[in-house]
């Protein structure tokens, strides 16, 4: 079954992509949840016209995402967390913590667009997160977690 996605779906595609899925997944989940519509010939024509009109706006969005990526490369982020001996943290540092610290520095990036390898950080050290600023602009962001042994 061929469907047109109405919003980003993890491990499937981005908004306005035409994807092929199994019939049950499309009819029982994607369409009832409002995540997709059937890819009929008329829906494909409407999508093509919308994409043509949006191409200029998309170029501006990519340019803004690239500027943000350059700004992120200049940021040196250091997160402090309570830790025990040996740098092991009490609790964990997650993408939400990274998003909050970036927001404090003036970079409003939602936590769902930040992916840390392994999901959570449980020890002090240097780490890298993938930040998706646009579907075509993904930047590796380096940061450091510092243990506070108080």
> How far is the CA of 79 from the CAs of 43, 87, 88, 125, in angstroms?
47, 13, 14, 10
Cβ atoms of residues 40 and 1 within 8 Å: no
Instruction: Take residue 103 and report the two structure tokens written for it.
Output: 């927001």
Number of H helices, E strands in the chain: 3, 9
pLDDT one-digit tens code per residue, 28-40: 999 999 999 999 9
pLDDT one-digit tens code per residue, 37-62: 999 999 999 999 988 888 888 888 89
> Hey, what CATH topology would domain 68-148 get?
Ribosomal Protein L9; domain 2 (3.10.430)
Delimiting residues of CATH 3.40.5.10 domain(s) in the chain: 2-62
Instruction: Examine the pLDDT at 150 and tell me if it is beyond 70.
Output: no
What mean pLDDT do residues 16-27 have? 95
Closest CA to 44 of 67, 18, 25: 18
Q: What is the largest CA-CA distance in the chain?
A: 65
In the CATH hierarchy, which top-level class contains the domain 2-62?
alpha beta
Q: Is 12 exposed, middle or buried (0-12, 13-18, 19+ CB in 10 A)?
A: middle
pTM flag (> 0.85): no
pLDDT at residue 53 in the model? 85
Q: Which residue matches tokens 């449980």?
A: 122
Q: Where are the alpha helices (DSSP H) in 30-94?
A: 41-74
Cβ atoms of residues 122 and 54 within 8 Å: no
Delimiting residues of CATH 3.10.430.100 domain(s) in the chain: 68-148
């Amino acid at each position: 079954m061929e469907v047109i996605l109405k919003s980003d779906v993890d491990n499937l595609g981005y908004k306005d992509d035409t994807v092929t899925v199994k019939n049950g997944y499309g009819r029982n989940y994607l369409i009832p949840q409002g995540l997709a519509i059937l890819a009929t010939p008329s829906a494909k024509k409407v999508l093509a016209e919308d994409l043509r009109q949006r191409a200029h706006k998309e170029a501006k969005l990519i340019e803004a995402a690239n500027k943000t990526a350059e700004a992120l490369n200049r940021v040196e982020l250091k997160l402090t967390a309570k830790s025990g001996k040996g740098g092991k943290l009490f609790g964990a540092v997650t993408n939400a913590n990274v998003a909050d610290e970036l927001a404090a520095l003036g970079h409003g990036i939602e936590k769902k667009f930040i992916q840390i390898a392994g999901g959570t950080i449980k020890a002090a050290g240097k780490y890298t997160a993938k930040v998706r600023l646009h579907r075509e602009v993904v930047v590796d962001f380096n940061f450091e977690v510092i243990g506070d042994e108080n």
